[in-house]
Amino acid sequence: DIQMTQSPSTLSASVGDRVSITCRASQSINIWLAWYQQKPGKAPKLLIYKASTLGTGVPSRFSGSGSGTEFTLTISSLQPDDFATYYCQQYNSYRATFGPGTKVEIK
């Protein structure tokens, strides 16, 4: 199975900061990567798919980049609503795998 890692595991930032989260795959997954946001007690929400395509209704301050084995989620100007946990997920193989998550906290 393809293994996914994320860094950092926790990120402390302030409103207005530009933040980036890195996701790495154990083998090439082309562009078949998605990013999700999850808030406590809520279901995950799709932010990005195909590495860089914005999900429906997702604010433009979110962006994704990368291909192959290394990917990045960037939030250009952190807003109060963005404090949450973020997961990457590969779907290159029909057996999907998620990264362990990155918690974005208020500094």
Residue 83 C-beta: closest distance to other proteins, Å: 17
Compute how many other C-beta atoms are within 10 angstroms of the C-beta atom of residue 29. Answer: 22
CB of residue 89 to other proteins, shortest distance in Å: 7
In terms of CB distance, is 1 or 15 closer to other proteins? 1
Contact positions toward other proteins, by CB under 8 A?
Answer: 1, 34, 36, 38, 43-46, 49-50, 55-56, 87, 89, 91, 94-101
Our CA angle for 6, 86, 30, nearest 5°, is 55
Neighbours of 23 (CB within 10 A): 29
Contact between 12 and 106 (Cβ < 8 Å): yes
CB 46 → other proteins: shortest distance, Å?
Answer: 5
